[in-house]
C-alpha cells in the first residue's frame, strides 16, 4: 500500500506546472543558495587566500545576514528573535553587539 501512495503523490506532482514542482534534489533552498554563493566567490577569487579563512568568512557573513533578517522580521524584538533562532536572548544580544548591529 505505501508504494501506491508514493506513486499517487508522484503523479500529483508531475501534473503541477513546472514552476510549482518541487526539485528532485534533497538539498534545501537555503543550502542551494549558500552553495551557489560560495561557488561564485571561489570562481571570482580563484586561489587568492582569504585573510580570515573562507570558513570563518562564510560563517560570519551568514550569521550577520541571519541576525539582520530575523531582527527585521520581528520588528527588533530580541526576545521573539532569540526564540525563533533557538538561542538565549543574552546570546542574541552578545552576537548583535559583536557584529555592530546594536
Show the cell assigned to 33.
543558495
Q: Give me the mean pLDDT over the 1-14 stretch.
A: 43
Strand (E) positions, 41-96? none
Helix-strand-coil split of the chain, %, nearest 5 = 70, 0, 30
Q: What's residue 49's pLDDT?
A: 85
94 alpha-carbon distance from chain centroid: 21
Q: Domains plus CATH for the chain?
A: 25-98 (1.10.10.60)
pLDDT for the residue 29 = 92
Residue 8 pLDDT greater than 50, yes or no: no
Predicted local distance difference test score (pLDDT) of residue 27: 76
pLDDT tens, position by position, 15-71: 545 555 555 556 799 999 999 999 999 999 988 888 999 999 999 999 999 999 999
The answer to whether 60 and 95 have CB atoms below 8 angstroms apart is no
Note the pLDDT of residue 7.
Answer: 41
Amino acid at each position: 500500500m505505501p508504494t501506491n501512495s508514493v506513486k499517487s503523490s508522484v503523479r500529483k506532482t508531475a501534473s503541477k506546472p513546472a514552476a510549482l514542482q518541487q526539485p528532485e534534489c534533497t538539498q534545501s533552498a537555503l543550502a542551494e543558495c549558500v552553495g551557489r554563493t560560495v561557488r561564485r566567490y571561489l570562481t571570482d577569487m580563484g586561489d587568492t587566500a582569504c585573510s580570515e579563512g573562507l570558513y570563518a568568512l562564510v560563517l560570519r557573513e551568514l550569521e550577520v545576514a541571519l541576525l539582520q533578517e530575523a531582527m527585521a522580521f520581528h520588528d527588533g524584538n530580541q526576545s521573539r528573535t532569540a526564540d525563533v533562532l533557538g538561542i538565549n536572548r543574552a546570546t542574541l544580544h552578545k552576537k548583535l553587539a559583536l557584529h555592530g548591529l546594536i
